[in-house]
Amino acid sequence: MNIEQIKNQLPDYAKDIKLNLSTVMTVEGAPELTLKQIYFIATASAHATGNKNFIQALIKTSSQHLADNEMNAAKSAASIMAMNNVYYRFIHLVNDKAFAAMPAKLRMNVIANPGIDKIDFELGCLAVSAINGCGMCMDAHARELEKSGVGKPGIQSTVRIASVINAVAGVMVMEDGIDY
């Protein structure tokens, strides 16, 4: 199954999600992003949802647009942000600000050397951070992207893709009786 087949099976109550999926997965619907970036963001986002059927469908579709190293980097973005989003959300939300002054002591080498274009990796990290709800990480990745020349429309497009991918995965969970 691929993403188009999943989209076509979304139920009527998710018509907006279906329409949004069609839009955000195009360069016209994701201002300032290339098609490769769109599929990278979508793939990293799908990994962040943990929905195995959706991940497999997105991989099948994305493999037409992404090289093996980019597919692997999408997994790396989802996995490193799974750790960082929990840690930094704790730092941001806990009342005792002494924790913020403490070194994280967590390895994060993949962020400095992701094996793909740094901007693309940052876009994936921003998308996953949005799904995971870490404000500190979203701020940090948005700042990095802006410093690298990505405008606000590109940042917004990234989060719009993440939100739609997350919604599709959620509908698939609600409709677990459907053979996706």
CB contact at 8 A, 109 and 156: no
What's the length of the chain?
180
CA-CA-CA-CA dihedral for 96, 98, 103, 109, to nearest 10: 40
Report the catalytic residues: 134, 137
For residue 63, what are its two tokens?
A: 């493999």
State the burial class of residue 69 (Cβ atoms within 10 Å of its Cβ: 0-12, 13-18, 19+).
exposed
CB-CB neighbours of 173 under 10 Å: 13
